[in-house]
Structure 1
Amino acid sequence: MQLTAPATPRTDTRSPGRDADGMAVASFILGLLGLLVLNLFLGPIAIALAGVSLWRGTARRGRAYLGLALGIADLAILAVAMEVSHTLSWSL
């Protein structure tokens, strides 16, 4: 009589490529959203997610590069808007 279940090999359904693809998409979405609101926070997050997804070898390299470019654009727009308004924040 056996009291425990037989040992079965563990299969992990999540692959590292799938996680990297999700990070590339999240980077793109956050970079795009950061052009409108909270660019001080969303820009660096988009840059970091794009860098990690590229480092992990995403299949969505174009989306990761767009997220990287949009994250940098978020910070550039913030810098220009702060310079024009002569404050530490910006408003329309």
Structure 2
Amino acid sequence: DAVMNAAKEHRTLLELNANPARLDLNDLHLAAAKRMGIPIVISTDAHSTDGMDVMRYGIKQARRGGMTRDDVANTRRWDEMKKWIGQ
């Protein structure tokens, strides 16, 4: 709860690491973030292009938490992101 409240207060995105060994945000965390209006980013934590294929796990995890593309910051256009971050 404290992390979610701080993220909301400071307008901080939460990261869903799509690596199957990580998937740090579970479906309950993601559902709470959605309820609170906290956007997430889905990352692969890839250190080469070979690691990009794990993105599907992050997408599935986000969907389990009720997230839609509107809740995921890195599905937005760059001009939308610039507006969100205040540029």
Question: Higher helix fraction: Structure 1 or Structure 2?
Answer: 1
- Using the size of structure 1 for normalisation, the TM-score is 0.30
Q: Which has the larger radius of gyration?
A: 1
